Amino acid sequence: MFEYAPAPESRDVVDLRSAYGLFIDGEFVEGSGTPFKTVNPATEETLAEVATATSDDVDRAVRAARKAFGVWSALPGAERAKYLFRIARIIQERARELAVLESLDNGKPIRESRDVDVPLVAAHFFYYAGWADKLRHAGFGTTPLGVAGQVIPWNFPLLMLAWKIAPALACGNTVVLKPAETTPLTALLFADICRQAGLPPGVVNIVTGAGETGAAVVAHPDVNKVAFTGSTEVGRTIARAVAGTGKKLTLELGGKAANIVFDDAALDQAVEGIVNGIFFNQGHVCCAGSRLLVQESVQEELLAALKRRLGTLRLGDPLDKNTDIGAINSAEQLARIRRLSDLGESEGAERWSPACELPGKGFWFPPTLFTGVAQSHSIAREEIFGPVLSVLTFRTPAEAVEKANNTPYGLSAGVWTEKGSRILWLAERLRAGVVWANTFNKFDPASPFGGYKESGYGREGGRAGLEAYLAV
């Protein structure tokens, strides 16, 4: 046996300020609302005070974006591309700083922010930079919409920003973006990157604050397009606010994905996919494989292997390079995960977690498995958005499809089988925007992503992602 040696990433690379303002018209300015604190969820330490944008501040930001729209949309696509390429390269140069700050503010393991989030963020800017001078080949016209109001969640703060800002700018729009209130810091570092890239003032504006600030962005009469990623509940409120205004709208909402394992699948490989599907980013993933559907004949073997594997996961300091599972993003989210897990037990499912010591401070939840889950149980129906997996069984492919589709959501699904024909058969029948086969949680900027039913509408990524930002 070897001794465990922690390998924490240094936080010296981040120049954390004690207070942050709003980013409007190329400058950091004070907000008119009461500032709020953003904390490190792994330690509960306050990281910084952040400005709250009132509706007057949002109005200033929208006016700056409107003024900049004239300049930005008039640039030839190839010129806009140069700025986007420059932003992508600076993101690569400052990758370590961005990754450490993301892990501090969000609680996600540095291994993920460093190897997944930040590389994908740069990839998104590179990808859409490539489209900026080729829009006429995309098939959606070349006319930008104007000012885009964008509201994003806390689970992938910088990646969701990239998904929103890169296509908007490539198409010639300007933006006012509101990050989530528990994770505003990397968006503000991105604002600094925009300045470093020499982006014309007002093309990107960042307004921080809670739900009211988001609502002010959505309701502003001079916003032409609203892009929202977040919960289905808030998505509904936004759809109502936008109805009849003529604003274009895309909604990327919640999910409850099925990860379906057939008896002919490579089980060890499937175990890795299941772990990646639900424990990546503490399960704070809209497309997380939170319902495991396993063919009855291999249930015992698969669960034994899965439990062995879960026993090896390391939970703790997000900045430790060995960490697999970091902190839950906020006390509110932890309370929600606890409530739904307790409900799972009281409704009759059996709960299991590996032996796992939780740190004394901060917000933590152990990797958790529920067996004996029925389709009617709350843990099988509601989005938990945490490291909690519900296990259900099936006997035939038709039963697997029926159970997988038995959800109000439709964002993603996973299929594990050796048979190519079965993969295609399922992909045709699963009501999910993305179906992964013998893998899970694979993302690429060239591949469109989005949902059916209560998971929202519109696609982000790929050529399809341009449509949301052009007057088709």
**Residue ranges that bind ligand NAD, judged by CB under 6 A:** 151-155, 178, 180-181, 210-211, 214-215, 218, 229-231, 234, 237-238, 252-255, 286, 383, 385, 411, 451, 455-456
Give the nearer residue to ligand NAD in terms of CB position, either 148 or 286.
286
> What is the closest distance, in whole angstroms, from the C-beta atom of residue 330 to ligand NAD in the complex?
9
Q: Which of 179, 126, 129 is nearest to 156 (CA)?
A: 179
Report d(CA 261, CA 293) in Å as an integer.
6
* Catalytic-role residue among 286, 383, 460, 467: 286
DSSP reduced 3-state for 9? coil
Report d(CA 416, CA 419) in Å as an integer.
9
Give the nearer residue to ligand NAD in terms of CB position, either 254 or 316.
254
> What is the closest distance, in whole angstroms, from the C-beta atom of residue 247 to ligand NAD in the complex?
13
Active-site residue flag, 300? no
Active-site residue flag, 286? yes
> What is the closest distance, in whole angstroms, from the C-beta atom of residue 329 to ligand NAD in the complex?
8
User: What does the block give as tokens for 144?
Assistant: 């930008």
Give the nearer residue to ligand NAD in terms of CB position, either 317 or 382.
382
Chain-centre distance for alpha carbon 71: 31
User: What does the block give as tokens for 133?
Assistant: 């001078």
Buried b (16+ CB within 10 A) or exposed e, 354-364: bebeeeeebbb
| Rg of the chain on CA atoms, in Å | 22
Report d(CA 221, CA 228) in Å as an integer.
17
Give the nearer residue to ligand NAD in terms of CB position, either 56 or 79.
56
User: Does residue 369 contact residue 306 with C-beta atoms inside 8 Å?
Assistant: yes
Give the nearer residue to ligand NAD in terms of CB position, either 9 or 112.
112
Return the residue nearest ligand NAD (CB atom). 214
> What is the closest distance, in whole angstroms, from the C-beta atom of residue 226 to ligand NAD in the complex?
9
The Cα-based distances of 224 to 246, 424, 462 in angstroms read 8, 39, 22
> What is the closest distance, in whole angstroms, from the C-beta atom of residue 312 to ligand NAD in the complex?
27
- Please report the DSSP string for 341-400 in residue order: HHHHHHTTPEEE--S-PPPSSS-----EEEES--TTSHHHHS---SSEEEEEEESSHHHH
Give the nearer residue to ligand NAD in terms of CB position, either 40 or 232.
232
Buried b (16+ CB within 10 A) or exposed e, 379-405: bbbbbbbbbbbbbbbbeebeebbebbb
Backbone torsion region of residue 372, taken as left when φ is above 0, otherwise alpha when ψ lies between -120 and 50, otherwise beta: left
Give the nearer residue to ligand NAD in terms of CB position, either 128 or 385.
385
* Catalytic-role residue among 97, 102, 181, 252: 252
Give the nearer residue to ligand NAD in terms of CB position, either 205 or 229.
229
Q: Which long-range contacts (CB under 8 A, 24 or more apart) does 374-377 make?
A: 374/347, 374/348, 374/349, 375/403, 375/406, 377/344, 377/347, 377/348, 377/349
> What is the closest distance, in whole angstroms, from the C-beta atom of residue 215 to ligand NAD in the complex?
4
Q: Which of 185, 161, 180 is nearest to 19 (CA)?
A: 185
Q: How many CB atoms lie within 10 A of CB 246?
A: 6
Q: Which of 287, 335, 337 is nearest to 450 (CA)?
A: 287
> What is the closest distance, in whole angstroms, from the C-beta atom of residue 332 to ligand NAD in the complex?
8
Give the nearer residue to ligand NAD in terms of CB position, either 180 or 388.
180
User: Does residue 302 contact residue 294 with C-beta atoms inside 8 Å?
Assistant: yes
> What is the closest distance, in whole angstroms, from the C-beta atom of residue 216 to ligand NAD in the complex?
8
> What is the closest distance, in whole angstroms, from the C-beta atom of residue 188 to ligand NAD in the complex?
14
> Which positions ≥6 away from 175 have C-beta within 8 Å?
65, 147, 148, 149, 150, 164, 165, 168, 169, 203, 204, 205
Residues taking part in catalysis: 252, 286
